[in-house]
Amino acid sequence: MALVVQKYGGSSVSDVDAMRRVARRIVATRKAGNTVVVVVSAMGDTTDELLDQAAALTSDAPAREMDILLSAGERISMALLAMAVGELGVPARAYTGAQAGVLTDSKYGKASIVGVLPERVARSIQTGAVAIVAGFQGINEVEDTTTLGRGGSDTTAVALAAALNADVCEIYTDVDGLFTADPRIVPTAKRIESLSSEETLELAAHGAKILHLRAVEYARRFGVPLHVRSSFSDKTGTWIYDGRRQGAFVPSVVATQLDDVVAADIATPGSPATPASPASAITPASSASQGNSPAAAAPPSNPAGLDDGPSAAAVDTAHRNAIAARAQARPRPSAKEDHVEAPVISGIAHDRSQDKITLVGVPDVPGAAARIFAIVAGTDANIDMIVQDVSAEGTGLTNISFTCPSGDSATARAALESAREELGFRSLHFNPDIGILSLVGAGMRSNPGVSARLFGALSEAGVNIHMISTSEIRISVVVDDAALDEAVRAVHSAFGLDAQAAEAVVYGGTGR
């Protein structure tokens, strides 16, 4: 038996028939002897429809009320899915993010998780029920509903998996795992059997849509094994692991200690509680200090409105013991790369969500760049790539270009224009028609000639490069948006990533 957290995206629960299909998968996992917690997204395009309705009413919706509105989609999904699972003879309980103990800061629309206190979820699974949690949402310090931004359901699933010390977090989507490129652009893309968290972070940060960056970061920090697969098939997907390139790390520990939790439910109803440690949420700081084995949080005493049952403190003590035993027994892969002959390139990501801003005629003096990017930071804009030209001889002026998400570019431009006199630049050029291609692979560390092959492939395809950025395992280039698809296909072929026959099937059409 294992503790499994499963996350289902919007395309996986798009209608009633899809709900039934997902419910059958959940029940099959439960009947195989596993303890199951489910995180679910809003059905299909529900979130977009809610955004459209709000836009029809106001052009300046309050962020707090928008979070209340947008959280409704996941609440609908969790309730319907709990009903579908119940119809198959397995008890299921639905919980909002707040009820599941997902605690966040107060940045409405893009809140960050600051702690997880999954008492009610733990109580459900201890009694044999499936806990179904609304993804994408939590509650802040003033008890307002908050949403986590794009990819928030992925992050919810990983956070719960970390807090419960799950054996695996399964991310279900509408394709059979991660591929060497987007199969919508490269039909011959290959499925990646296993990938390091480091490579996955680079792919997610540069346009790969199957997993969200924040979820991968969270999983890496807390040692949560991820399995990305399709809810439309039974194919093995992609395992994301921490360290070795030798296949995937598939957890196989039997979590028999959870029987202690069930025994506590039966043996101690109404009896005095065994003393437990003070209540505390699972936070990055507290869990990080315990390495890759975060402990479950101690819940508070049973507050009004919760289900009647055994002492929360007694249940928590048993739950802590079970989690600690499972964490100690679980093998951890080495951080050492065991196979230096692994493929040089793991995959190619592309991103159309960035704009390019260029400041022309910036004084080439110490502190100029610092002032520019302090102003940009003040708008909460996230910057991806930065390039500064060599100062033109005799002018003392240079050009600085950077890319940022399309949603951030308008405020960044306005702030820079308002500070033109202070910054002393001559003009601001804006280009929204760009795309970013990123080549990712840990094998780059020990294989020369990767850059030459990349630039050679782009040259042969007639693709011009505007900007270049590199890391130890990534090379990114900015090209014209119109040339991006052709660039991806050319580079994919140049590095021998093409499969002989199409392997990818896009079941739902969205990739999420």
Residues annotated in a binding site? 7-10, 47, 74, 173-174, 184
**Is the sign of the CA dihedral 225, 228, 230, 235 positive or negative?**
negative
Q: Tell how far CA 480 is from the center of its chain.
A: 27
The answer for residues whose C-beta is within 8 angstroms of residue 30's C-beta and 6 or more apart is: 36, 90, 130
Compute the distance between CA of residue 81 and CA of residue 84 in angstroms, rounded to an integer.
5
Compute the distance between CA of residue 23 and CA of residue 25 in angstroms, rounded to an integer.
5
Tokens standing for residue 165: 């010390």
> Residue 228's beta-bridge partner residues?
171, 238
Q: Where are the beta strands (DSSP E) in 297-395?
A: 347-351, 354-363, 386-388
Compute the distance between CA of residue 248 and CA of residue 27 in angstroms, rounded to an integer.
25
The answer for residues whose C-beta is within 8 angstroms of residue 440's C-beta and 6 or more apart is: 199, 202, 203, 206, 345, 346, 347, 348, 349, 473, 474
CB 94 within 8 A of CB 81: yes
Torsion on CA atoms 316, 318, 324, 328, rounded to nearest 10: -160
Residue 142 CB-density burial (10 A; 0-12 exposed, 13-18 middle, 19+ buried): exposed
Helix (H) or strand (E) segment spanning residue 455: helix 450-460
Quick count: other Cβ atoms within 10 Å of Cβ 127? 16
Measuring CA to CA, which residue among 353, 361, 345 is closest to residue 401?
361
Q: How many CA atoms lie within 13 A of 270 on its CB side?
A: 0
CB 264 within 8 A of CB 311: no
Q: Which residues are annotated as a binding site for ATP?
A: 7-10, 173-174, 184
CB 206 within 8 A of CB 440: yes
Q: Give the burial string for 252-278 (b: 16+ CB within 10 Å, else e).
A: ebebebbebbbebbeebeeeebeebee
Q: Where are the beta strands (DSSP E) in 41-167?
A: 92-95, 102-104, 113-116, 130-134, 137-139, 145-147
Q: Where are the beta strands (DSSP E) in 154-263?
A: 168-173, 194-196, 226-230, 238-241
Q: Which residues are annotated as a binding site for substrate?
A: 47, 74
Q: Is residue 69 helix, strand or coil?
A: helix
Q: In angstroms, how far is the first alpha carbon of the chain from the final one?
A: 29
